[in-house]
Structure 1
Amino acid sequence: MFDLIIEGGTVIDGTGAPRLRADVAIAQGRVAAIGALSALAARERFDARGRIVAPGFIDVHTHDDRLLLDTPVGAHSKLSQGVTTVVTGNCGVSLAPLQAATSPPAPLDLLGTDAWRFARFGDYLDELEASGPAVNAACLVGHSTLRVRHMDRLDREATSHEAQRMAGDLADALAAGAIGMSTGLYYPPARAASMQEVVAVGAPLTGAGGVITMHIRDESDAIDEALREALLIGRTLGVDTVLSHHKLVGKANHGRSVQTLAMIEQAAEGQPVCFDCYPYNASSTMLLPGRVAQSDDVRVTWSKADASAAGQSLFALARERGVTPEQLAQDLQPAGAIYFAMSEADVSRILAHPMAMVGSDGLAHDVSPHPRLWGTFPRVLGHYVRERRLFSLETAVHKMTGLSARRFGLRGRGVLAPGHHADVVVFDAQRVADRATFAHPTEVSAGIDAVFVNGRLACRDGRSLDVHAGRVLRHGRAD
């Protein structure tokens, strides 16, 4: 007897193959059978008539390291949009291995200030596993976190001894189950790091088969040079390379995605490389005065110096206070912001590319976060598939499931097939839509009927029902 049969739905299996009418049976947390199963016995049945049944979505670019440790109350930003697995530790920032009594330097503080207690990466994974996360977690080690841990000054390249110690921490983390390393060469803590330093620190990735994800050094005027550096790092290490949140920033660079995508395609002929992106033409990170002039508008997401600025336009506030936006950005430090500096044509072109995976890059601890934290995946399905018809529903699901699982080595996930883990989302293709906006960024999406994590009903119509169904997905270990 099966534990559950999801019956009457239309299955899109995550491979990119055409949809088919089929029932999905689940037993002991795994998909047991797919086909005409309505006559078979099951302890429970779920009516999916008129709905799409797909693999649970995989958010390949998150900063959920600390969020995963918390027991959610109310709606969950990831479960409510159909996400069953997240990749954490992106942009060079991971919660471990680092012990800090005070707030670490930005952008590490985007993970908060009070959870920097893990001396070893394995300690973090163990606590996460013991707490039972809401979704599955595959975790990266942040290069910037390693720099903060081992260097007395961040405005210089690491010495060979420091790089060796960082590489030792990475090797320990990989042995404990980390899936790879991330970099954030754009940000102050790692801006002084050379390519040679990153290769030296990342050396353990080669033997372990880990992945490297890269927030490249520049996403505006110098993007070509930054891409070449990132691709060379991946090629030198001989590992799978993921270019994080690929985009072009600033009006002068609008349209250049034609060239950057061609560069990535050419590189892919000789090395394993792909990229993630989010379906919005605004980005979000720490508030940087140097980014202000590139943007049509800047919205403050949080500020320690002036909490009342959160959710407001930096430009409007600057006019009210009689200062320049750049000066106000400095006065609000430390702070975060949303930048309206991207072209919708570039966003669409990048998202539609066959190498593109979907990642939210949401910042869970911002006071007034970018709406991508709550709306990324339904936005792809509703706005870009149903309304814009940018690509098919099968292609969209593949970008959010099977492609992601393959690129990150998440075995038994991302595809609905017998024997695979029962991470499943049931949604209404005619109604699914993001509701989160820049003014109201935490609104729950519409059209996500049910989310099953490892066979357990975790979310129904946006309501969290089981917030401990997730697992830690440790690299190189059967799960």
Structure 2
Amino acid sequence: MMKRKILLGAMSMLPLLLAANTPAPEYDIVVRGGRVLDGAGNPWVSADVAVKDGRVVRIGRVAGRGAKEIDAKGRYVSPGFIDMMDQSGRVLVKNGAAENKLLMGVTTVIAGEGGPPAAATEIPAHFKTLEQQGISVNYGTYYSATQARVKVMGDGAGSPTPAQLEAMGREVKIAMENGAFGISSALIYPPSSFQTTSDLVTLAKVAAQCDGFYATHMRDESEGLVQAIEEAIEIGEKGGVKVEIFHLKAAYAPGWGKLMPQAVATINAARARGVDVAADLYPYTAGGTGLEIIAPSWVWADGVEKGIERLRDPKVRERMKKEVAAGSMPGWSNLVHASGGFANVRLANGFSDKYRPYHGKSLAEIGKVLNRDPADVAWDILLEGLPNRSVALYFMMSEQDIETAIKQPWVSIGSDAAASEKAGEMDALGLPHPRAYGTFPRIIAEYVKRRPVLSLEDAVRKMTGWPAQRMGLTDRGLIRDGMRADMVVFDLDKLDDVASWDKPTASPTGIETVIVNGVVTIANGKHTGAKAGAVLRHSCGV
């Protein structure tokens, strides 16, 4: 009996003895045997990738063990994707998980078309909140020139006095010193549309003191596309800043096949003479924005409240209908005209029970059912949905033009979508557009796999190394020794964007693992709950 007890005791000690003799893991993570795409456009190499303390520390044959081992045999390993036009600034404060972004392989988002959800002086507090609560992606933002304008002179039309323009410049300087990447504009929307080229040059000069950007949703993406690009380039040249054109598109059906080649030629000519101008895009033929864009800009010239009052006035509506039918006018892009008519404008979200049955139908169809003019339908839905912003899908672009643009080496990828507060639901903009769930996998699934527009290496470069270089993120965007360990493991054969116009919140397939700052955040296609994302602050250099 005594011998049996001694034997059992010795056996119970065996696991402890073996553990004591097993060397501790040398790395936090080792991704084994994948086809590694470095993000710079080079061909893949077969290698292991070791990660320690949030950084890549070895690429090649890794003999040491990782605390976590990931088998990537037969799959591709790339840097994490960078969303160059994100809309998540506000929702990340509510929920930092950003699950729909991560499931696309996105590890870094650059937000701020409308600026951060904070005044210039409050940007540090905004950043601190995100850091304290935790976010699952890396986040950087622009500061909107419109934020500065509204603070100084309200939301109406009019030219700023020299003193007011100087005050706006002070707001920009504060924002830049607090970590903004530059100034942004959305010149298609009032009150941003009330800003002149000269005003923006003045504010760009302030951003230039911190080597910042002028990032713009241009004044016109339709018939006046080339002129709008020329304006953006002028602001960059005179202001001394880098220019980023948001969601480059030729959103004008009569100009398909003609405007985009002209736009590309204009940008290439500016780059040839030394202007640092580039663009991003999303790979879809429809844009998505509010119904308020169907009202001419003069409606909003005295502010939002007066604009709403005008929309309720039948006599004002008669004038507005004539202008919608006439096409675009100076200071206003008529997206109905650009789409080829109300038949190509589809209600996405009316934010009311009354119009919910009509989601997914065109304004022309809704007008026919209700026996109403489609323009009246648009404005009725807008008013009914207040205080929310009712949104529509505007089918304005052609696949031919998307291909022309996406081939340009200076084009990166931006979703123009927000993180979803709840996974599987609409993004925080309330816009059911497939770009919120499908943009990045679609670049590979559609333009590498389904049609030979891009090589896999170049597609990955457009989503990783190029945008990181563009934004000055010198320690991200590449898989190289010492770089931050933001990585994606995907199965090329299974990779598909899935999200469609009918099912816009469907998650992609084929993306198995996503690592953010050396922490596994998506494992086997599921969010782990990790919040290893970082706030990215642009350095002002002062």
The two structures have a TM-score, normalised by structure 1, of 0.91
Give 1:379 deviation, angstroms: 0.4
Structure 2 match to 1:116: none
Q: 1:206 to 1:367 in 2, by over 3 A?
A: closer
- How is 1:20-99 mapped onto 2 (pairs within 5 angstroms)? 20-37=45-62, 39-71=63-95, 76-90=99-113, 92-97=114-119
Cα separation, 1, equivalents of 2:154 and 2:288: 28
What CA distance in whole angstroms lies between the structure 1 residues aligned with 2:355 and 2:247? 28
Of stretches 143-152 and 209-218 in structure 1, the one that deviates more from structure 2 is: 143-152
Greater than 3 Å deviation, 4+ residue runs: 304-307, 309-312
When residues 203 and 25 of structure 1 are mapped into structure 2, their CA distance, relative to the original with a 3 A threshold, is same
For 1:274, give the aligned amino acid.
A
Query: Residues 45 and 204 of structure 1: is their aligned pair in 2 closer, same or farther, counting only changes over 3 Å?
Result: same
AA matched with 1:284: G
- Which has the higher Rg, Structure 1 or Structure 2? 2
1:293 is matched with: 337
Q: Give the 3-state SS of the residue equivalent to 1:23 in structure 2.
A: strand
Give the secondary-structure state (helix, strand or coil) at the position aligned to 1:49: coil
Query: Do structure 1's residue 5 and structure 2's residue 30 form an aligned pair?
Result: yes
What's the CA shift for 1:278? 0.7
- TM superposition shift of 1:307: 5.2
Q: How many residues align?
A: 455
- The answer to which of 326-335 and 253-262 deviates more is 326-335
Partner of 2:404: 349
Q: Which has the higher helix share?
A: 2
CA distance in 2, matches of 1:17, 1:477: 32
Specify the SS of the correspondent of 1:218.
Answer: coil
Are 1:332 and 2:386 counterparts?
no
Greater CA drift, 291-300 or 139-148: 291-300
Q: Name the SS for the 1:158 alignment partner.
A: coil
User: Post-superposition shift, 1:368?
Assistant: 4.4
Q: Deviations over 1:114-168 (max 9, x none)?
A: xxxxx62222122122221120011110122222222234212222222222221
Q: Is the 8 A contact 2:88 2:428 kept in 1?
A: no
SS in 1 for 2:100: coil
| Residue 459, structure 1, aligned to residue 522, structure 2 | yes
**C-alpha distance in 2 between matches for 1:123 and 1:312:** 42
CA distance in 1, matches of 2:481, 2:355: 51
Match of 2:422 in 1: none
Distance apart, 1:477 and its partner CA: 8.3
Residues 416-474 of structure 1: CA distance to partner in whole angstroms, max 9, x if unpaired?
11100000000011111111111211111000010000010111243111341100011
Shift in Å, 1:304: 4.2
Q: Assess, with a 3 A threshold, how the Cα gap between structure 1 residues 12 and 281 changes in structure 2: closer, same or farther.
A: same
User: Is the CA contact 2:78–2:479 (under 8 Å) kept in the aligned structure 1?
Assistant: yes
Distance change >3 Å, CA 326–CA 337, structure 1 → 2? same
CA distance in 2 between partners of 1:153 and 1:29 (Å): 44
Q: Give the structure 2 partner of residue 318 of structure 1.
A: 367
Pick from 278, 284, 302: which aligns with 1:280? 284
The letter of the residue matching 1:292 is V
The one-letter amino acid paired with 1:265 is N
Distance 1:419 1:477 in 2: 24
* Corresponding position of 2:453: 390
Per the alignment, residue 150 of structure 1 pairs with 152
Using the alignment, how far apart are the partners of 1:186 and 1:157 within structure 2?
17
Equivalent-residue separation in structure 1 for 2:431 and 2:91 (angstroms):
16
Distance in 1 of aligned mates of 2:277 and 2:540: 23
Give yes or no for contact 2:155–2:191 (8 Å, CA) kept in 1. Answer: no
Report SS of the residue matched to 1:452.
strand
CA-atom RMSD, angstroms?
1.8
Question: After superposition, what is the alpha-carbon deviation per residue over 1:248-274, rounded to whole angstroms, capped at 9, x for unaligned?
Answer: 112112112111100100000121111
- Could you tell me whether the CA contact under 8 Å between 2:59 and 2:480 is conserved in 1? yes
Structure 2 counterparts to residues 79-228 of structure 1, below 5 A? 79-90=102-113, 92-97=114-119, 120-228=122-230
Q: Distance in 1 between matches of 2:36 and 2:539?
A: 29
Q: Distance in 2 between matches of 1:350 and 1:297?
A: 23
Which segment drifts farther, 18-27 or 278-287? Answer: 278-287
Contact 1:89 1:139 (C-alpha < 8 Å) held by counterparts: yes
SS of 1:171's equivalent? helix
Alignment of 1:295-444 (within 5 A): 295=339, 297-304=344-351, 306=354, 308=356, 309-333=358-382, 334-363=389-418, 364-444=427-507
* Matched-pair contact (CA < 8 Å) for 1:301–1:366: no
The partner residue of 1:231 within 227, 230, 233 is: 233
Gapped runs of 5+ residues in structure 1?
A: 99-118
Q: Give the superposition deviation at 1:212.
A: 1.5
Please say if residues 290 and 390 of structure 2, whose CA atoms lie closer than 8 Å, have aligned partners that are also in contact: yes
- Aligned-partner SS, 1:96: coil
Counterparts in 2 of 1:311 and 1:67: CA distance versus 1, 3 Å = farther
Q: Partner amino acid for 2:99?
A: H
The Cα shift of 1:331 comes to 1.2
The letter for the 2-side match of 1:45 is E
> Which ranges in structure 2 are unaligned for 5 or more consecutive residues?
1-25, 295-333, 383-388, 419-426
User: One-letter code of the match for 2:288?
Assistant: S
Query: Aligned in 2, Cα 1:210/1:72: closer, same or farther, shift over 3 Å?
Result: closer
Give the % identical residues: 36
Is the partner of 1:407 in helix, strand or coil? Answer: helix
CA contact (8 A) 1:185 1:193 kept: yes
> For 2:135 and 2:33, how far apart are their aligned partners in 1?
30
Question: What residue is the counterpart of 1:260 in the other structure?
Answer: 263
Give, in angstroms, the shift of residue 207 of structure 1.
Answer: 1.4
Residue pair 2:79, 2:486 contacting (<8 A) in 1 also: yes
1:112 maps to: none
Aligned residue for 2:446, secondary structure, equals helix
- The one-letter code of the counterpart of 1:277 is L
Letter in 2 for 1:302: N
